[in-house]
Amino acid sequence: MSEDKAGRAAIGRLLNHYQIISQIGAGGMGEVYLAEDTRLNRKVAIKLLPEGFAADARRLRRFEREAKAVSALNHPNILTVHEFGADGDAHFLATEFVEGETLREKIGGGELSLIDALKIAEQTAFALCAAHDAGIVHRDIKPENIMIRLDGIVKVLDFRFKNEQSCRRREKVFRRVNRRGRNQSRQSRRTGGKFRAAAGLFPFRQRIITRRSQRQKPDRAAD
């Protein structure tokens, strides 16, 4: 069955207590539908996972574990995950429905001013920082995964995760970087000023400002 036919076949289907209304998107991780939560009488977005993905028990467990991690993020700029569920052989992710447009669509419409761009960038950064603080990296941030609500609120969507092998490689890289950082720090203490040059001025700015103000005080008193 083609994706188009599969999408039409899903319309009207009841997944647990979610009634599929219409298809609103599609991607490598499955089709996305607008649905009605019949228990709470609200609109939600349902992402149906592809059959091949759902048939792989290991990938499915990892996706469920990662979906739970994202659902624990409570941030106004991150899409809220309501449920990771199954109905028969169909596995799905239920999230809040965002009424608006993607950043890609907004850019394509030629409506993005500098002020709007800064507001979007700021809210996106807030979302990513909150995720990073929880140990979650997005890995697929792009205009298609940034939704802008009608009231201007930004929602970051579709967090992607590394597989276990990639995570092990990343941990090895981090350990290597940490070792190099410690070695460079020891060397910088012996050589006197290289660490500040390598790290940049910002970590030392407060002390530099303080020293400058202390040097300037006698001059102002003399005047």
Q: Residue 130 is encoded by which pair of tokens?
A: 């909150």
Amino acid symbol at 166: S
Q: Name the catalytic one among 4, 56, 133, 140.
A: 140
Burial class of 84 by CB neighbour count within 10 A (0 to 12, 13 to 18, 19+) = buried
Residue 219 annotated to the active site: no
Among candidate residues 51, 96, 90, the one with its CA nearest the CA of residue 70:
96
What are the C-alpha distances in Å from 67 to residues 29, 85, 192? 13, 11, 48
> What residues are paired with 33 via a beta bridge?
23, 46
Residues in the chain: 223
Give Cβ neighbours of residue 107 (< 8 Å, ≥ 6 apart): 143
Could you tell me the two tokens for 9?
A: 């076949």
- Separation CA 16–CA 44 (nearest Å): 13
Say if residues 148 and 120 touch (Cβ distance below 8 Å).
yes
**Mind telling me the catalytic residues?**
140
